[in-house]
Chain A
Amino acid sequence: MTVKSDEGDVLLDIRSLRTRIETLRGVVHPVNDVSLQCRAGRTLAVVGESGSGKSMTFLSVLGLLPAGGSIESGSVTYLGREISTASPKEMRRLRGKSIGMIFQDSLAGLNPSFTVGEQIGDVVRHHENASRSQARERAIETLGLVGLPNPRERVDYYPHQLSGGMRQRVMIAMGVALRPRVLVADEPTTALDVTVQAQIMELLDGLRRELGMSLVVITHDLGVVARYAEDVAVMYGGRVVEHGSVRQVLKSTNHPYTEALLRSSPRPDASVAELDPIPGQPPNLLAVPPGCGFHPRCHRRDGREDCTVQIPQLRALSPTSQLTACHHAEEMVMQEVST
């Protein structure tokens, strides 16, 4: 089941993806029956806590799973071509060129002993058979594209000569140097100051428009989601639990987990008298609760049996509403209408 939307061509289509990782303590499924679409020119936000599977979904797509990890079932197509079964060599060609990825920690992502120009140029030379000077020109051009002042001079800087915000821009430059059609940004602003956060998100949003990319933002920041995303997928315990437009999910949620997340977050624009914490811990993948993964923490379960037995499937309550994976979503909607 996927969200119906006519806008933008589907570039990346993930269907019923299930990923397994063999660990010393047993097999875990960090991604379970996940379906998502990335559309040209649109921004999809994937929201969830640690262990929700939001990063693992896209690491699976890009063939970057940690040792012992593999796709167990499901399909991933890029421009109609199946890539979940592609060879490592084909995946290398695809990564960066078709699907770019930006990781959270900009300091860890850059090699301290090479200039930023060499590192961006490497990406270009690896994929495009370009000469050193061509690669360097492309690096300068891309650094300008991501708003680094004085790119012709800064191309010869080492990472330590740049501030945190500028390093993050270099990481983005590496991600878009080959002008990919899909750009996945994994927690792009988490470690940054609010003012720099805003700059980086505006930059990514501008690049999406300018290059007509499909942007995927993996985040736990609901404020970033509200401002930049068109579509939202909320993940919990390896599954998508709610999926729809940003207004549907944030303004009239049909899933108790999304509701609980919103109620437990303080807001910068209003005084919230009392937060409603979600009890317990995010789920442990080694011991996923039976039935609905959220049932041990759910404030709406009310002792019901089916929540602990049957895994709720994503479904739309009406032809125009978002998808939700809750057995009792109708009840939530009824209450919203009555209050």
Chain B
Amino acid sequence: MAAETAEAPGAPFVAGQDAVLRVENLSKHFRQRKRFGRPSPVVRAVDDVSFDLARGETLGLVGESGCGKTTLSRMILRLIEPTSGKVFLDGEDVTRLEGRHLRTFRQKVQVVFQDPYASLDPRQKVGASVGEPLTNSGLSRERKLEIVHETLERMGLQRGQARLFPHQFSGGQRQRIGIARALSVTPQVLLLDEPVSALDVSIQAQVLKLLRDLREEYGLSYILISHDLSVVRHVSDRVMVMYLGRIVEIASKHDLYTAPRHPYTASLLSAAPVPDPDVERVRERIQLAGDPPNPVNPPPGCAFHQRCFHASALAEKLPDDEVEVLADGRRVPGACARLQPALAPGAAGTRWSACHFPLENEETAAITA
């Protein structure tokens, strides 16, 4: 199963010295439980992922369910241990921190979860939840209470509401409480895991606006995980697309949305409907066949080749000996079916993508028009 990989040309680092977070060749391979003594397959949930996050930047992370977004974020939070690779915060290797050092690290990287109904303890008063990250801060009780009140007020809630329980709040308010809890320890990096997906449309905009203001105010850097391409476009500076555990494209928001280089990115963008009937009725749409492949048994070569519209179009123009015929009769270039493409930069050195035949500007113009 060890797929052949094209030679790696480095990693998509952009921030240099200014990076607050840096992830190097991070992998997490889960071994499934042994069944009746048979050797168990390995799931490469995250496979050789490298990127960095500049101070004050928002990096959007998109991909379908099962692409490894959540596993990646858990490793960054040190909630699970990576199989290999390293995570650096402010230039310091935090991959193996323990004890007191790990506790200090946890104050610097915080998380806001998706479901504001599930992520707050229903039996704990809101003030206690918000103050919980401060437990090991060594601050006095009075100072901690003060911080809780200040943070809640900054979120647009009242200090008196610290004495209420979660069920007394609406979904939007609960998400503000979740954000307050993450910010009470003044972290540097905030991991936002689908922060507005559970909220009503009218409330989403309130929370997005709040997040944007807080980033300036607290000097935060965000990693925003979302399946909603509109939200990612609105909030992010750069966007990273994952497919089956690997980065398939990472580029500035503008480049990625107006001229995607990876066919998978183009397919995602084309699938997102636009709230304008005049645009939507004339737009050509790329229909992806099937579901994402099973990560237990990933396809050889490029993980996307079985669903890729670009590969089948290219195969039309190739002689038979350069084409591979798939089980369903589709034809793709031989390279796509055999060789795993490495993440490589485009001509300008930005816009990294992992495709043997990245889309050219004129090809993407037709898709994103």
Contacts and interface: CB of A to CB of B under 8 A. Distances in A.
A50 B117 CA distance: 15
Interface in B15-65: 64-65
B172 interface: yes
B271 A197 contact: yes
Interface string A237-277: 00000000011001100000000111011111101100111
Given A163-B291, A264-B205, A268-B233, A223 B200 contact: no
B279 interface: yes
B233 A221 contact: no
A28 interface: no
B204 interface: yes
Given A166-B291, A268-B230, A275-B208, A49 B275 contact: no
Contacts of B206: 277-279
B310 to A, nearest CB: 15
Nearest to B234: A266
B123 to A, nearest CB: 22
Contacts of B291: 163-166, 196
B170 interface: yes
Nearest to A262: B275
Contacts of A272: 234
A282 B200 contact: yes
A223 B209 contact: no
A287 interface: no
A292 to B, nearest CB: 16
A288 to B, nearest CB: 16
A51 B329 CA distance: 49
Contacts of A269: 272, 274, 276, 279, 368
Given A195-B268, A275-B208, A225 B202 contact: no
Interface in B60-104: 64-65
A265 B200 contact: no
B357 to A, nearest CB: 20
Given A266-B231, A277-B206, A49 B277 contact: no
A198 B208 CA distance: 25
A194 B227 contact: yes
A193 interface: yes
A71 to B, nearest CB: 26
B272 A265 contact: no
B64 A223 contact: no
Contacts of B274: 223, 226-227, 267-269
B317 interface: no
Contact of B202 (A164, A246, A266, A278): A278
Interface in B157-214: 170, 172, 200-206, 208-209
A281 B277 contact: no
Interface in A208-237: 220-227
Contacts of B205: 264-266, 275-278
A82 interface: no
Interface in A178-199: 193-199
B362 interface: no
Interface in A144-189: 163-166
Nearest to B368: A269
A331 interface: no
Given A50-B200, A166-B291, A193-B65, A225 B275 contact: yes
Contact of A275 (B234, B269, B272): B234
Contacts of A278: 202, 205-206
Chain A residues touching B, range: 35 or more
A264 B201 contact: yes
A227 B227 contact: no
B288 interface: yes
Contacts of B277: 226-227, 246-247, 250-251
Interface in B319-336: none
Contacts of B219: none
A220 B200 contact: yes
A224 B273 contact: yes
A220 to B, nearest CB: 6
B145 interface: no
Contacts of A227: 273-274, 277, 280-281
B272 A250 contact: no
A247 B277 CA distance: 6
A202 interface: yes
A226 B287 CA distance: 18
B285 interface: yes
A269 B253 CA distance: 12
A221 B268 contact: no
Given A194-B268, A246-B277, A266-B231, 9 more contacts: A166-B291, A196-B291, A223-B273, A260-B202, A264-B201, A266-B205, A266-B234, A275-B208, A297-B202
24 contacts: A49-B201, A49-B202, A50-B200, A163-B291, A193-B65, A194-B268, A195-B268, A195-B271, A198-B271, A198-B273, A198-B285, A198-B288, A223-B230, A226-B275, A226-B280, A227-B273, A227-B281, A261-B201, A266-B205, A267-B230, A275-B208, A277-B202, A278-B205, A279-B206
Interface of B: 64-65, 170, 172, 200-206, 208-209, 227, 229-231, 233-234, 253-254, 257, 267-269, 271-281, 285, 287-288, 291, 368
